[in-house]
Amino acid sequence: MSTIVGEAAATKPSKIRWTIFVLLLLMLAVNYVDRTSVAVAMPLISKEFGIEPAYQGILLSSFYWTYALMQVPGGMLTDRFGARRVIGFSTLAWGVFQAMAAGCTHWITLMLMRLGLGVVEAPMSPAGGKLVGIWMTRSERGRGATLLDSGAPLGVALGGAIISGLIVWFESWRAAFIVTGVGTIALGLFAYWYIRDHVADHPLINKGEVDYIEAAHKAEGASVSDSGNVRFIDFFKYRSVWGLFFGYMCMQALFAGLLTWMPVYLSAVYGFDIKQMGGAVFSMFFVGFIGELVGGWVADKWLESGASHSKVFKTIFGFASALATISIYVVAQIHNPLECVIMLSVTLFFLRWCGVYWVLPSLLGSRQRAGTVGGLMNFGGNIAGIGIPIVVGLIVQATGSYFYALMLFAGTGIGLFFCSVFIIDYRQRITSV
């Protein structure tokens, strides 16, 4: 009897796939801690360097210029060289740029460091999206995608607390940048050791988990594992690619607006100091982190019950984007700081349900092309990251108010709803011709 029990235990699937995605969550969180650091420290940086609001917008957006431009190349590099190599190199390099930013003595040189940070961070999300298709089964990809993408709101939440805490502790924003940069380098070394591009290659996985994943992928059929060649220009023949591009652009426009300008907004409109601002940012974005995990869980459980991808994703994205839009509109109508933070938290809770978008590159593009499709999607998202901080800065400087900026955010929520419900065809597959 003991022999039989031992054999059964030996074949019980291990959980390596989940530990990989918890690691990716941590890495994306650190990614956002690093990219959020300038927004959190902006009241101090702008005072030290004498930066007006319009130039603050340029500095805040500069990261996204190169980050957006490198999305598609980063995705293609991932498809060619594998996620493990790309993630390892990317993480090491962005730690270096984060630490080097501490030595800047002018906002122009700080902007150059942010441009470099954008280049090396760019492949991270497409590479993670590819790993969703490699490691997760059909009924697990919602949770896998949101574990990956929920690093964004968690990183912003932690970034607000960590960066403001380090600034207070060391009485220096420069020391805060050095500490986070060194921590990122250490994490990159560990990630390269742990992540694998092929399930069976992982040194800690057992046969039960390998068989479970491979059987699930086989059951999905050839439509999600087509290995033929598709010319890059042919991706744009698919309606769903355009829907992903513009839908994720709208989602990231709202998220990037909250990420880059809400600390400044809370300071300017409600008089929050660095400690209050750090606490408010943590609360808002941690709620967004919880919301993203809830969205992934709902998607997986609904798919597991036998519902179609089209029904599940249209409903989830439509519901979430509608409530996020209503919530950000309400923010513009209230004047109480506590109510403002609560409604911003509600906005982020539902907006982050749309992190399930990261299921779509491997669903629509196959595991072989998930990096490229994810790169295209994230390119659209980060075009918004380039434009929104600048536009908001110009609006605030021209009007002396944040009202029209908040209305712009509400408009992006409407765009997210339209693309998710009416443009993306969740049954469409990008196949070789």
- Look up residue 238 and give its two tokens: 């698919």
d(CA 195, CA 27): 12
Is residue 206 one of the residues assigned to a domain? yes
Tell me: the pLDDT tens digits for 146-190?
888 888 888 777 777 788 788 888 878 888 889 989 999 999 999
**Closest C-alpha to 391, from 54, 46, 42:** 54
d(CA 345, CA 103): 34
Contacts of 85 (CB under 8 A, 6+ apart): 192
9 has pLDDT over 70: no
d(CA 298, CA 312): 9
232 has pLDDT over 80: no
Is residue 163 one of the residues assigned to a domain? yes
Count of domains observed in the chain:
1
**pTM recorded for the entire structure:** 0.77
Is residue 222 one of the residues assigned to a domain? no
Q: pLDDT band at residue 430, thresholds of 50, 70 and 90?
A: confident
Is residue 433 one of the residues assigned to a domain? no
Contacts of 183 (CB under 8 A, 6+ apart): 30, 95
Which tops the pLDDT comparison, 275 or 196?
A: 196
Q: pLDDT band at residue 221, thresholds of 50, 70 and 90?
A: low
Tell me: the pLDDT tens digits for 76-126?
888 888 889 999 999 999 899 999 988 888 888 989 999 999 899 888 888
Is residue 430 one of the residues assigned to a domain? no
For residue 53, what is the enclosing H or E element?
Answer: helix 53-69
d(CA 129, CA 150): 13
With a pLDDT cut of 90, the percent of the chain lying above it is 35
Burial of 428 (0-12, 13-18, 19+ CB in 10 A): middle
Give me the pLDDT at residue 44, please: 84
Give me the pLDDT at residue 330, please: 96
Average pLDDT of the residues in 52-71: 81
CATH number of the domain that 164 lies in? 1.20.1250.20
Average pLDDT of the residues in 252-276: 85
Q: pLDDT band at residue 311, thresholds of 50, 70 and 90?
A: very high
Tell me: the pLDDT tens digits for 350-408?
999 998 998 898 888 776 777 788 888 988 887 887 788 888 888 988 998 899 999 99
Instruction: Using the CB atoms, write b or e for 143-178: b if 16+ within 10 Å.
Output: bbbbbbbbbbbbbbbbbbbbbbbbbeeeeebbebbb
Is residue 134 one of the residues assigned to a domain? yes
CB-CB neighbours of 3 under 10 Å: 7
Beta carbons of 39 and 89 less than 8 angstroms apart: no
Beta carbons of 409 and 257 less than 8 angstroms apart: yes
Average pLDDT of the residues in 29-33: 82
6 has pLDDT over 50: no
Which residue, chain included where needed, has tokens 């994943």? Answer: 213
d(CA 264, CA 302): 39
d(CA 14, CA 73): 34
Give me the pLDDT at residue 223, please: 43
- Look up residue 374 and give its two tokens: 């994810």
Is residue 223 one of the residues assigned to a domain? no
Beta carbons of 388 and 292 less than 8 angstroms apart: no
Give me the pLDDT at residue 323, please: 97
Average pLDDT of the residues in 286-294: 92
Is residue 428 one of the residues assigned to a domain? no
Beta carbons of 250 and 427 less than 8 angstroms apart: no
Give me the pLDDT at residue 23, please: 92
State the average pLDDT for the chain. Answer: 86
Q: Which domain holds residue 259?
A: 15-214+230-423
Instruction: Using the CB atoms, write b or e for 180-195: b if 16+ within 10 Å.
Output: bbebbbebbeebeebb
Q: What are phi and psi of 42, to 5 degrees?
A: -55, -40
Give me the pLDDT at residue 226, please: 53
With a pLDDT cut of 70, the percent of the chain lying above it is 94
Contacts of 199 (CB under 8 A, 6+ apart): 17, 134, 135, 205, 209, 210, 213, 214
Beta carbons of 101 and 113 less than 8 angstroms apart: yes
Beta carbons of 199 and 213 less than 8 angstroms apart: yes
Radius of gyration (C-alpha) of the chain in whole angstroms: 21
